[in-house]
Every structure is written in C-alpha cells, then in structure tokens.
A and B are shown apart, each in its own frame.
Chain A
Amino acid sequence: MSATNNPTPGEARAPGPSVADTLRRDSREVPAPLLEQHYAFLGDEDLPVERYISREFFQREIERLWPNAWQWACREEHLPETGDSYVYDIGPYSVLIARMDDGGVKAFLNVCTHRGTRLIDAQGCAYTPSITCPFHGWSWNLDGSVRNIPGQWDFPHTVGDSHNLAAVRCEVWGGFIFINLNPEAAPLADYLGVMPAHFAQFPLERRRIRAHVQKTLPANWKIAQEAFMEAYHNFETHDSPHGANAQYDVFSKYVSRFIHTIGSYSPTALADYPGDKWRSPPMSEQEMLADLSIEGRSLAAGETARQVAAQAIREQLQAQLGVDIDRCSDSQVLDSIEYHLFPNMFFFPGILIPMVYRFRPNGDDVDSSIFDVLVLEPLPDGAAHPEPPEPTRLGVEQSYTEAPELGWLAPVYDEDTGNLDLQTRGLKTSRKGLSLGNYQEVRIRRVHQTLDEFMDQGKPFR
C-alpha cells in the first residue's frame, strides 16, 4: 500500500454510498439518533493475544472487571409476582434478585451470611418467599432481613442488620434488571449514556421475549462477542454483500453502535473482495427484494426493494401482532442496528432484527463462554407481558437449527459461531497480536480500552 492510499488513519471509508446516503432515501422520517455519526480514531496497535487466552488476564477480569461492571441479569417479566426471584451467575459470583411486596426488585449476593453456603443453586427463575439456607436453616425475608436463626441463643452477636443478605446494586432499564456488584458503582444512567434517548421510540420494556436461546461457545467471551461487533465478516462468513459499507459509531467508553443496511449495498465497496459476485453485475432491486423473502411482487419504476420490503413487513406485523409500526422508518424496520453496552451486552432497536445478546465467561474456563440470544418482539399497546419462555440450552456441538424458534437466524448464528473454535486454536499458535481495521473494527478497540481502565482501576471484589 502506498502512503497516498492511507492518508490520516481512520479517515478512509468504503467506496460507494454510505449508510447515511441510504437513510436519506427512507420512505419515513428517520429518527435523529440514526442520522448521528460518532467515529473517532482510537489507535492501530495490535491487541496482544494474551488478552484472549491467558489465565492470568482472565483471572484479573474476574477480580476487577465483573465485580464493577453493570450487566443485565434478567428481564422484569422473569419475576412478575411477589416472591418470584431469579439467580444470575457471573464467573464465581452469584446474585439473587427478588420481587418485593411493593412491586420493586432487590438484589443480594446469593450466599448465606452464617457460613457462606450458596442459597439457591439453580440459575434462572426461582421462588423464594422465605429463602432458607439448606445447611442450618437460617432464613430471610424477601427484603433480605433475617427472618429466623434457629438456636438464636448461640448468636447474640447477630444484631440489627448485621446478618441481612448482602445487598447488590440493582437498577432497571428497558425492562432489563441490571446488577452491579460494586456498592459504590456510578449509577446505571452514567453507563447507558445515549441509549435511553436512542431507544425512546421503541422502548424495550414494551417487547416480549419471543425466543431465548443459551448456547455454550468454545471461545473466550471476548472472542465470541467480537464476532458480532462488525459486519466486515459478512462477505466471507455469511456469503453476503451487505455490511461492507456499514457505519460504526463510538458514543462513549461504554456505548458503541453499527448500522448495517439490509436490502441495499454498495457494489463498489466490494471492489477488492474476491470474485465478481454482487459486483459485476450488481444485484438488481428486484433480486434484492427476493433476497428479503418478498416473492411475487414486481417493483414499479422508482420503487426500491427497501421501501417495498419495509412496507410489507409493517403490514405483516400489524396483522400478526397487532402492533402499529406505520411511523417506523424503513431503516428501523429492516436494518441491523446494533448497540453494544460495555462489557458484554448488545441491544437492537430494529423490528426485523430485534435481538439482545449477552456473552459471559462459562465458570472459570478461559476458553468457554455462554451466549444468550433473546428475540424481543414488539408487544401490542396495553398488552401484559406473557410468561417468558424457558431458555433453550444448546451445547458446544449442537446447531442453532435445533432451536427452531430462531427461524432464519439459526443458520446465520451457526456461521458466526463456526469460526470461534478455529480462532481460539489459532490464537494459541500465533506469535503476533490481533490487528484491527481502523474504522470497521473500532468498537472492538473501544471495548479493550475501557477494559484496561477496569483492569487498572476496578475495585477488587474483596
């Protein structure tokens, strides 16, 4: 590469129409947040391999990252009634979240204040109207206060709230219950930054969990989540022309985004990709409409695949779900709009692509992670949340197609996760660090830079 092809690092963009160009042709008014662009060059140094494969690094994340990071544990509808509770595990830590009499929620360390026994062993939904330790039978009220200590005469030193369950910070946004193990953590709002404003038009609390799939992946949690942070891989991994001209934004230390348009791409952005596919000749608008599974509809002069597909989906959802999305822009209906919240959460405000992801370490295994996919469907106005589905749990060797509730997404996730084992094994035989694209992979770099702050300044759990 000559220097003239590489002016100021981070300034170059894929040739051809940008996401902003596509959004300007929307059939509806595009919400202002989707028109914002927030990119900054964050450096181009390689990321050391050790960040992904070393036990020491992983252990420091356990000590410094996870005890200080806000993270969603469950949805409000997982604990609809007084006494309902939910157990969320992250690394060695376990948190019990309970629904109070007054409708609020509180969170506690899931541990007996007598001799440290884990109280509720199973992850997921529980019911703890009077939580009782299985070892000596100490019990607590829903608010964490001591209910009964058998043989109280021997414990005159349990006074006041000395042996209440240890409170954990807990806040709610978008129907998600977030916890933070650091009692002095800054409020969740500081962390969320632009997200409440950006999700205001389609609040996530007014969505239901249509599907929940939880899969064990054979890779470090960061390797796993980074497979979902850029659309650069779409050409090779998904055999798709979309994504080569995606837009990437970094809003803060904690929040980043990509917008990757569907039903529109830039053939010139594929100029140096292998072969002529989708470039010579490019897909016609009619072919793109078929690619969006809209068959038997001929485009009239001046109509675009995006406008027609978005309208078909609006009408379909209105009929199927009773949800009025007429005012939603083509972009909100169709595109892959993905927000990442540090360290491990993804939220999509879209309609056709309406997921939420979470990537966690699997216990103390450096090379294994748990990937939760929630498909969040809009809930009709006034409708109550139905009981959420039990997660479908898939092992490392299982295919996403064994979770039929994922529909067309299942083979896509198989493609995404098919590279993880190769990358994990590859990194172990690599002397070189990982190189990142200045623009398309900037979100990955942002996560690592924020991670470094936690690794340096995070308050150790103990």
Chain B
Amino acid sequence: MSDREFKRVASLADIPRGQTYCITAGDVEILLCHAAEGVFAVANLCTHAAARMSEGKLRGCRILCPLHGAAFDVRSGAVLSRPAREALRSYPVKVEGDDIYIALAE
C-alpha cells in the first residue's frame, strides 16, 4: 500500500456509521461505505445494470442495489447475489484522524 498514491477524498464526519457517501474522482463515481468494520470504497455503479449504489442501502457489510437487488460485500466488492456477476471495483482506504484517503491507481 505504501507505494500507492493516496488522495484525501472526504471527512469521516461526513459519513456516520451505517451510511454511504458518494465522491467523484475525474469521471468515476466512488462510494465510501462506513460499516462497523471500517470505511470501504467501491465503484458506485452496479456491475449489472449501472444503477447508482448510492441510491441503495448499506446493511452491515452489504451494499444493496436499489434496482434489481444485487448485493455486494463492501470490504472486497465481491458479488453476494445475482443478478450481478462481476465484483464492484474496490479501492484501498486509509483513515487518519478525521481524513479519509483512497488510492485510485492500481
């Protein structure tokens, strides 16, 4: 992780636990998810039909798509239920004090 470039994207105060917060980096929407296990970042568009996950709901570590009900694990982006088949892209996150950083490049 150390050789990745982390960029400050939000303040922890913006995202109460159990909530999500959508940011834009260039033309990419990224969803920050504050679960009990920590803050995680995944692509905001569902891999099934490109609905915005920010209009869905975070339940535990699952993000639920509002359109067809696909579920993903926010910790890894992994698909938990159909109709999605591909994982959401997941971004490394660092939290330092009140600052949330994510690494955009591979």
Closest B residue to A96 using CB positions: B69
Contact present for B48 and A127 (CB under 8 Å): no
**Contact indicator per residue, chain B 30-68, by CB within 8 Å of chain A (1) or not (0):** 000000000000000000110000001101111011111
With both chains docked as a complex, state the minimum distance between the C-beta of A112 and any C-beta of chain B, in angstroms: 11
Of the candidates B18, B66, B71, which one forms a contact with A122 in the assembled complex, judged by CB atoms under 8 Å apart?
A: B71
B80 near A132: Cβ-Cβ < 8 Å: no
Q: A126-B69, A127-B59, A128-B69 are in contact. Are A134 and B64 (CB under 8 A)?
A: no
Determine if A127 and B80 form an interchain contact, defined as CB atoms under 8 angstroms apart: no
Shortest distance in angstroms between A394's beta carbon and chain B's nearest beta carbon? 17
Q: Does B4 contact A (CB under 8 A)?
A: no
**Chain A residues within 8 Å of B68, by CB:** 119-120, 132-134
Is B48 in contact with A134, judged by CB distance below 8 angstroms?
yes
Contact of A390 among B56, B62, B65, B67 (CB under 8 A): B62
Q: Are A387 and B18 in contact (CB under 8 A)?
A: yes
Q: In whole angstroms, what is the CA distance A49 to B48 when docked? A: 47
Do B66 and A121 touch (CB < 8 A)? no
Contact: A128 with B83, CB < 8 Å?
Answer: no
- Indicate which residue in B57, B60, B67, B71 contacts A132 across the interface (CB closer than 8 Å): B67
The binding surface of chain B is classed by DSSP as: loop
A122 in contact with B81 given A127-B66, A134-B48, A134-B68 (CB within 8 Å) = yes
B8 contacts the other chain (CB 8 A)? no
Q: List 17 A-B contacts (CB under 8 A).
A: A83-B57, A120-B68, A122-B71, A125-B62, A126-B71, A127-B57, A127-B59, A127-B64, A129-B66, A130-B67, A132-B68, A134-B48, A134-B49, A134-B82, A387-B60, A390-B60, A390-B61
The 0/1 profile, CB within 8 Å of B marked 1, for residues 92-130 of chain A is 000000000000000000000000000111100111111
> Could you say which residues of chain B place their CB within 8 Å of the CB of A121?
69, 81-83
Interface residues of A (CB under 8 A from B): 83-84, 119-122, 125-134, 387, 389-390
Q: What separation, in Å, do the CA atoms of A17 and B93 have in the docked complex? A: 63
Interface size bracket, B side: 20 to 34
Closest chain B CB from A140 CB (angstroms): 12
Do residues B64 and A126 form an inter-chain contact, with CB atoms below 8 A? yes
Q: How long is the Cα–Cα vector from A131 to B82 in the complex, in angstroms?
A: 14
Q: In the complex the two chains form, what is the Cα distance from A390 to B59 in whole Å? A: 8
Residues of B within 8 A of A122 (CB): 69, 71, 80-82
For A125, what are the chain B residues with a Cβ–Cβ distance below 8 Å? 59, 62, 64
Would B69 and A119 count as touching, CB distance under 8 A?
yes
Q: Which residues of A contact B67 (CB under 8 A)?
A: 130, 132
Q: Is the CB of A128 within 8 A of B81?
A: no
Question: In the complex, what distance in Å separates the CA atom of A330 from the CA atom of B48?
Answer: 56
In the bound complex, CA of A205 to CA of B50 (Å): 39
10 extra A-B contacts, CB within 8 A, seeds A122-B82, A128-B66, A129-B66: A83-B66, A120-B69, A121-B69, A121-B83, A122-B81, A125-B62, A126-B64, A131-B69, A134-B48, A389-B60
A287 to B18, CA, bound (A): 47
User: What's the minimum C-beta distance from B18 to chain A, rounded to whole angstroms?
Assistant: 7
Docked CA distance A133–B49 (Å): 12
In the complex, how many angstroms separate the beta carbon of A23 from the nearest chain B beta carbon?
41
CB contacts (< 8 Å) of B83 on chain A: these are 121, 134
**What is the chain B residue whose CB lies nearest that of A389?**
B60
Q: B64 to chain A: which residues have CB within 8 Å?
A: 125-127
A389 to B35, CA, bound (A): 12
CB of A5 to closest CB in B, whole Å: 57
> Which residues in B have their C-beta under 8 angstroms from that of A129?
66
A83 to B48, CA, bound (A): 21
Q: Which residues of B contact A119 (CB under 8 A)?
A: 68-69
Q: Which residue of B lies closest to A120 (CB)?
A: B69
Top 10 A-B pairs ranked by shortest CB distance? A122-B81, A120-B69, A127-B57, A134-B83, A390-B60, A127-B64, A121-B82, A134-B68, A125-B59, A121-B81
A390 / chain B contacts, CB cutoff of 8 Å: 59-62
Residues of B within 8 A of A128 (CB): 66, 69
Nearest-neighbour CB distance to chain A for B24, whole angstroms, equals 23
Contacts of B61 in A (CB 8 A): 390
Nearest-Cβ distance from residue A439 to partner chain B, whole angstroms: 44
Complex Cα distance, B30 from A307, in Å, reads 58
- Residue in chain B with minimal CB distance to A85: B69
Chain A residue, CB-CB nearest to B83: A134
Query: Within 8 Å CB of B62, what residues of A?
Result: 125, 390
> With A and B bound together, what is the CA distance between A133 and B69 in angstroms?
9
Question: What separation, in Å, do the CA atoms of A389 and B66 have in the docked complex?
Answer: 21
Most-contacted residue by chain B among A119, A120, A127, A133 (CB, 10 A)? A127
Q: Chain A's nearest CB lies how many Å from the CB of B35? A: 10
Q: How far is the CB of B104 from chain A (nearest CB, A)?
A: 28
- Alpha-carbon distance A387/B60, docked complex (angstroms): 8
CB distance from A139 to the nearest CB of B (A): 9
Q: Report the minimal beta-carbon distance from A386 to chain B, rounded to whole angstroms.
A: 10
Task: Give every chain A residue within 8 A of B80 (Cβ-Cβ).
Answer: 122
For residue A127, which residues in chain B have a CB less than 8 angstroms away from its CB?
56-57, 59, 64-66, 69
CA distance A129 to B81 in the complex (A): 18
The docked-state distance in angstroms from the alpha carbon of A338 to that of B24 is: 54
